[in-house]
A and B are shown apart, each in its own frame.
Chain A
Amino acid sequence: MKAQDHISENHELAGEYVLGTLQDHERDQFERHLASDYTLQQEVSAWEQRLGPMLETVEPVNPPLGIWKEIEKRIEPRASQEQSGIWNSLNFWRGLSLVTASLVLGLSLSLFGLFQSSGELERIMVVTNHESQAGWIVDTRSRDPMLNVSAVQPTPLAASEVCQLWLETPEGVLVPMGVLPHQGTRKMQIPTEIRQDSRFKVTIESAVTAPVERPSEEIVFEGKLISI
């Protein structure tokens, strides 16, 4: 009952949180709940959308010219690092595709250890591509609240298409998680619906509308995270 009270109290606070009227300590407390409560995140997002149109009333002001260069620099290192790393080298993985799948998985694990320093690997899932080879690696780590999704040898798609990852709830409802990256690693929020034996699914969606709320195409992959 007490936990329920907390939940409904938090939901009442969602509007004030977005409006900005909570005191520092109330805001901090709210954000701690928000980090792990998927429905609260949805409530906050609903309030952002309700109040967001107020921002339309603001007059545009041209920013100083140098700012774009600074922004470009900030996103450049990540992009170039992703492209040059061995983890993302397509040829490297093409070579490996001759090796058996289990060996690839073993190598993946050691590469994770070598190239990814944040947190220890806890659970992992290999999403296979159209040729039943490792297309993406999905993993969770200690001290990391996000899911890491790394492209290995993604299914080649038309420019208008992307692969989208879903979490299946015990009731069989698919919760949208995000678009699988074409290259590099992408972090995704872990839905609160996740369970020890949750199933994940992948669909192909239109690049214009993805990530969508309901799958529009057939399921092309199903799998589970396994503990390391």
Chain B
Amino acid sequence: MASPDSVSESTIEQRNQKLRELLSACALHDRQAFSQLYEMTSAKLYGVILRILNRSEWAEDCLQEAYVKVWNKAESYRPHLASPMTWMATIARNQALDLLRRRHREVRVPETDVFPEEVDQDLLPQDKLQMTDEGRKLNQCLEQLRSQQRQVIALAYFKGLTHEELAAQTDTPLGTIKTWIRRGLEQLKRCLEP
């Protein structure tokens, strides 16, 4: 896979620098900075939430919750630990998974409604993981895993499926799923260590 050219890398770095500045300003309750932050990031965060929830009426509420959290937690952002986009997208993902679990518990939504996608759909297009240093490193490490292991990890990450649900969805014995996940995470941790 060819790495992106230097122009797009520097564009991403410029964008990240701007996002870091906006998050610092949000930590000081600068509402204008927050509005600009929303402009620059909401399509990405909405994409993440829709990917997990697949329902626009849930996703809209969830996006609101996610941005209120970003506003309230802006001061705890650590620039040297994560890119601003990864940090915000993680907040959006957590918010969406919380909502999915809550709804699942409350109304016992049939799984087919919540997860209408094909399980074998490529949840992790590798070319898209080449945009940042963090993404390229993770991609290299994911490539060292077996493809089923990689798919199960991606399925869990994007759908918040438990071991049992993963076993049912992929028609794989529960013990195998548990081993794949545990070993997969151990391998990833070792591989990603600085």
- Chain A positions within 8 Å of B, measured between CB atoms, are 15-16, 19-24, 45, 48-64, 67-68, 70-72, 74-75, 79, 162, 178-179, 181-184, 186, 189, 207-211, 213
Contact = CB atoms under 8 A, between A and B. Distances in A.
Nearest to B192: A50
Contacts of B123: 57
Given A19-B153, A45-B81, A208-B21, A52 B134 contact: yes
B81 A49 contact: yes
Given A54-B129, A55-B90, A20 B97 contact: yes
Given A16-B185, A207-B28, A56 B132 contact: yes
Contacts of B20: 208
Nearest to B154: A54
B157 interface: yes
B175 interface: no
A56 B86 contact: yes
Given A55-B89, A58-B44, 12 more contacts: A23-B162, A49-B86, A52-B86, A53-B135, A56-B89, A67-B63, A68-B38, A162-B27, A178-B75, A181-B29, A182-B28, A211-B78
In the A-B complex, the 10 residue pairs with the smallest Cβ-Cβ separation, listed nearest first, are A60-B43, A20-B160, A57-B128, A52-B86, A55-B89, A63-B46, A15-B185, A53-B135, A53-B134, A61-B47
A21 B34 CA distance: 33
Contacts of A52: 82, 86-87, 89-90, 134
Interface of B: 20-21, 24-25, 27-29, 31, 34-35, 38, 42-44, 46-48, 50-51, 56, 59-60, 63-64, 67-68, 71, 75-76, 78-82, 85-87, 89-90, 93, 97, 101, 105, 123-125, 128-129, 131-132, 134-135, 137-139, 153-154, 156-164, 166, 181-182, 185, 188-189, 192
A196 B140 CA distance: 47
B51 to A, nearest CB: 5
Contacts, number: 160
A110 B71 CA distance: 30
Nearest to B165: A21
Contacts of B128: 56-58
Contacts of B138: 50-51, 53-54
Nearest to A186: B75
A186 B28 CA distance: 10
A20 B95 CA distance: 12
Contacts of B139: 53
Given A20-B97, A71-B68, A182 B132 contact: no
Given A55-B89, A60-B43, A213-B78, A50 B63 contact: no
B178 to A, nearest CB: 9
Nearest to A59: B47
A57 B42 contact: no
